[in-house]
Amino acid sequence: MIKGKIISFLNMKGGVGKTTLCKEVGFHLAKKRGYKVLFIDVDPQINLTQSLFKRYNFYQAKQISVHEDKETEQGETKKISQASIQTILSHSSIAPPTYTQGIQKLDDDISIIPGELGLEFSLRNLNSATLENGIHKFIDDNRLRNKFHFD
């Protein structure tokens, strides 16, 4: 049975390599060590989400307009993700978010709770405990520590 561990990358200073380090450690654990990794992007700049989505050819639903081409420049079909951390934080306890509303599976070993542009405006109305509790509740409700080695 998997008992997932949480690894956090924190530093108040910008430009110190948090996103790059997080992504590379996660990829190493998944691709070199065979672990299942769940990335959680709470950074308002969403660089981790953008980087992983670009690598796996995903687009956030809110970034795709109805008039936009549904294919990439390479002729591949764009994969649209509906998952978002905003969904996790904005749902009530009466109607909690589903697994797929919060998590985008990228491949067999890597998944992400994608960040979302504009999240910083929502976070202004939440204190850090509310943010933490919302994420922890989603992790607990979906038994993610039994599905991923690292969150």
Q: What is the pLDDT of residues 87-129, one digit of tens each?
A: 888 777 778 899 999 999 999 999 999 998 866 555 555 566 6
Which residue in 24, 50, 46 sits closest to 37, CA to CA? 24
Alpha helices in the chain (DSSP H): 18-27, 47-56, 85-90, 99-102, 119-123, 128-141
pLDDT at 68 exceeding the cut of 60: no
Collapsed DSSP state (helix, strand, coil) of residue 111 = strand
Those residues whose C-beta lies under 8 Å from the C-beta of residue 132, and which sit 6 or more positions away, are none
pTM of the model: 0.86
Which residue in 138, 131, 129, 62 sits closest to 98, CA to CA? 138
Task: Give the pLDDT score at 67.
Answer: 44
- Enter the tokens of residue 81: 């993700």
Backbone torsion region of residue 92, taken as left when φ is above 0, otherwise alpha when ψ lies between -120 and 50, otherwise beta: beta
